[in-house]
């Protein structure tokens, strides 16, 4: 979780290079993948093997 906090702080600097919409879109996409991965891990942790 620490790298997400670091990315949050550095994304404000990256916003100068890329447009705000690009940065927000990329960040929300990564968060969506992260949340989906955590939900999938949690649902698959009991009983079923993680493949």
Give the residue extent of every domain in the chain: 2-45
* pLDDT tens profile 21-39: 777 788 888 888 888 888 8
Structure tokens at 50: 């993680």
Q: Which stretches within the chain are classed as H helix? A: 2-17, 20-45
| Token pair belonging to 32 | 């969506």
Model pLDDT, residue 34: 87
Residues in Cβ contact with 14 at an 8 Å cutoff, skipping those fewer than 6 apart:
23
d(CA 15, CA 6): 14
Q: What is the pTM of this model?
A: 0.35
Q: What is the dihedral of CA 48, 44, 49, 38, to 10 degrees?
A: -170
């Amino acid at each position: 979780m620490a790298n997400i906090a670091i990315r949050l702080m550095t994304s404000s600097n990256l916003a100068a290079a890329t447009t705000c919409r690009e940065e927000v879109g990329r960040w929300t996409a990564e968060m969506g993948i992260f949340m989906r991965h955590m939900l999938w891990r949690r649902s698959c942790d009991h009983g079923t093997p993680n493949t």
